[in-house]
Amino acid sequence: MLFNSYIFVFLFFPVSLAGYWLCGKAAEKKGRSFLPSLFLVAASLLFYGYLKPAYLPVLLVSLLVNFAFYRQIEKRKEKKAFLAGGIFLDLLVLGIFKYTGSTFVPLGISFFTFSQIAFLMEGYRGSLKRTSLLDYSVYLTFFPKIMEGPIALPTDFLPAYQESGKKGFSIENLYRGLTLFILGLSKKVLLADTLGKAVDFGYSNLSVLNTPDALIVMLSYTLQLYFDFSGYCDMAMGIARCFSISLPLNFDMPYRAENIMDFWKRWHITLTRFFTKYLYIPLGGNRKGRIRTYVNTLVVFLVSGIWHGAGLTFVIWGGMHGVLYVITRWLHDRRKDRAVASGGMERRVDFQSRIRKLYCTILTFLFVNAAWVFFRAPSIGDALALFKRMGSLTFTRINWNLAGSFNLDEFWYVIKVLHLDSWQYAHYILMVLILAAALVLSMKKESAVRMAEKIKPGALSTLVLAGLLLWCVLGFGGVSSFIYLNF
């Protein structure tokens, strides 16, 4: 089941929310505290198995096997052997489904595999209180996060979930959660899917693109991916908030980053945290000298590339980020050494530093754009073909069909009403407006999460949110699935 569907918005979400809180009331009266958790697991399994029921047995078997390993880690002295066995089995299953060319790849397998590895690791470290099978099932299957994250650590999720049961239903949480859900849905339906049409056209017609066309395709995917994935995470956080459950922030305006290190503090934050805690630090982190630190960093980025997909394009994407990250960290280390040698340098915020910040932000954004080409392209050849079209320096008029990808019917009607459709460049108006709006929104200081917290309840804000929801729902017929469902 997808968040951006009629059955989810009008049936599953309201029924599951009402059922959860009604079970909570029943649990208080009858002393059966397990009822809300049992209901939530059942609802989550229904959500997961809706699109393809055949995926459900894989999830259930994986859940039971990992819980059995967790119990052995708790009981046995040979904890390390059971930890290694559990992680090896998880990665083996992930590898079989994802990297052997299988056409049967359970949705969200990368995400729920990492959640299970995190659970085994925290169980081994003794960070978890004794966890029941039911609580573990809630952690793993909680429907807002199971297919695309964010990757919540059990040490954060379980205490927050248990606390939510004590707090009970909250109108404030419901309002803030629905607000964030609508903002995330708008990012997906109104922006990401519109940009996606241009991207799909571009990669299907590489040979006819000129330089501006290729640049538009590259920029469109950069914006599409951000609004698609961050939109999903906003919706997931908003849904969880309605249940009074907290999920971690996954995006913090990443395209405002000053350098690639800053970018990875803002983009897919929970994946960065997972790799830092369970790969980078166990490899030695920064405790064994700078050369080892740089090597460990490269390993993490290459593994991240492989996690996203089996193709060489993902390895190149991970390698590009890893190499630039190491170079950036090396420059920071040198600057720090010089500052220490000179007795410390006070950082001044003046006009020159602001210009430098802007310059660095632009360069980082351009690099990220270029790296995303390998992330999106079906093959290395297609990625190079797009770069070749950019470098051809042909500046003829932008492709008519590419520009037409942005011409939403509701906006085109407004252009006709204003009698602008007879203008020779009318076909390009919406392309410019949508790209400009998407670029500005991606660079805003405040994320949708912060906006949802700051919006004051009132007639105007409620009307705007209702209008956005209605607009999104009317557009459900032409929406696509989320990009990260493929990972």
Q: What span, in angstroms and rounded, lies between the C-alpha atoms of 132 and 33? A: 13
Report d(CA 190, CA 480) in Å as an integer.
11
Q: Which residue type is seen at 211? A: T
Is residue 268 annotated as a catalytic residue, yes or no?
Answer: no
The residue among 161, 185, 138 whose CA lies nearest residue 244 is 161
SS3 assignment, position 359:
helix
Contact (Cβ atoms closer than 8 angstroms) between residue 301 and residue 314 = no
* φ and ψ of 110, to 5 deg: -65, -40
Sign of CA dihedral 198, 199, 201, 206: positive
The torsion angles phi and psi of 104, rounded to 5 degrees, stand at: -105, 95
Cα separation values, 91 from 109, 196, 308, Å = 10, 32, 14
Q: Which residues contact 433 (CB under 8 A, 6 or more apart)?
A: 411
Other CB atoms within a 10 A radius of the CB of residue 312 amount to: 13
Cis peptide, bond prior to residue 144, ω within 30 of zero: no
Measure the CA–CA gap between 143 and 156, rounded to whole angstroms: 17
CB 329 within 8 A of CB 297: yes
Helices (H), 268-379: 269-275, 290-308, 312-341, 351-376
Decide: 142 and 243 in contact? Cβ < 8 Å. no
User: Six-digit token pair at 304?
Assistant: 């991240």
**Catalytic residue (choose from 308, 321, 419, 427):** 308
Beta-sheet strands, E only, within 24-165: none
Nearest to 382 by CA among 317, 313, 314, 483: 313
Q: Is 97 exposed, middle or buried (0-12, 13-18, 19+ CB in 10 A)?
A: middle
CA 385/CA 378 separation, integer angstroms = 11
- C-alpha distances out from residue 122 to 22, 153, 163, 215, 436, Å: 32, 9, 20, 45, 45
Residue (of 228, 187, 214) closest to 486 by Cα position: 228
List C-alpha distances in Å: 120 to 115, 248, 285.
9, 20, 21
Rounded CA separation 329/319 (Å) = 15
Return the active site residues.
308
